[in-house]
Structure 1
């Protein structure tokens, strides 16, 4: 899908809305304070040229002191609404009896659910900002100074085959990611599962995602000392996944070592 053209103001709002809501509030206050001070400066200068430049800057600051804070404030509102929506989606999925609720979501809501899950699992999450349900990297998650990429597939009627998994692994390598998570509301073909074996890539299907949501929701948040201890724990034995902070788990038939953090 070709990307629609947007104005710089729209790009600013969109980019800021992917940040925590309080960041938008801080940016709004700081931008108003700085631009208001520039707009109120006297135009005294030694030369006519300098006076013209200062006059132009003052005029831009006069407009910007209202436009930028409005944009940042709007982005903060959008971010806050999205955060509330993510939490409600997460609680709804957690309260469901099985993974059927995942298939009833739109691809956008499914991506929000996955983002909320990684946040609750202790990751720093940023959305890549795709414009459709098949836009490549959906989330960038960080933990213990390592970057991981996340691909979300909300497919109701199809199994995820090896081709999209192979393509995502190539994107991981091109971006220098420490690992990756391919998350779907459905299931994977045997070929896809076999391809991911031994790689620093975890395939998470719908039932496994529901199980992980239940586990994170019911488990108390670890303390800082616990996190530090786990980060220094011995790495798992799989050669492609030997990284601090990860453990080996079995998720079902044909499953391999998991990159899911301890």
Structure 2
């Protein structure tokens, strides 16, 4: 059996490699052929009278090979382009915003067609609102959607008398809030704040990224606010790099230490309107729950103009 297998095996040829590999491989082959036609072959055979005739034979062949490999490279490039829309995200363990997928002019997939039909259909009648929360609690903080949590953190610093500004929607560069506490230079950012409304502990990677933002912004300190805490590795790194970690338990204690009027003001701010449905990270509008074969997820109501999606929040342990 093994002898027959060895005899039947063969090494793939150049054209087979070019047609089955990444487009960059065939592009590199085309570049090598061009180099051979213009430099290598004339240098090897052009200086010899006996071999000069080979130049006339090999140079056209090298140019032909360059054209063939170049054509294969172009074909492979268009074959490997990503699809117009991403598959729906799987139900996560953490409430983390996923990268926004931009619309393209490619044909709509079956999922896109289904979403388009859903978005064009009339929205169901709104469900009766639950009783308005009257006190702060850990459960309440866990239910706040990601954008409202960022705004709440920013408003918390403002009621403390600190000038705070949130970043715009879209990629935030690793910072959600900038704090300004320098009376001599009001425009200088003195601290940066990152917020992650996840329902699992934040690892060391986002904390390391926040340290890089500190250096870039020339900020003296940084705060990382995450309701469900941090891993031991993240805490150790933060302690060495002037980063204060605020989990849900500590944030709740800070809220409860505020005067009653300010505490109630922040509670009304956090729970005004629809405070649990996620905000589209691209458009800033409320998203809608969608169904797919892989489970439920949040989709932008402006689909297909905006194809932003978020993973559906898992139940908090």
TM-score relative to the length of structure 2: 0.38
The structure whose RCO (Cα within 8 Å, separation 6+) is larger is: 2
TM-score, length basis structure 1: 0.45
Structure label with greater radius of gyration: 2
Larger helix proportion, structure 1 or 2?
1
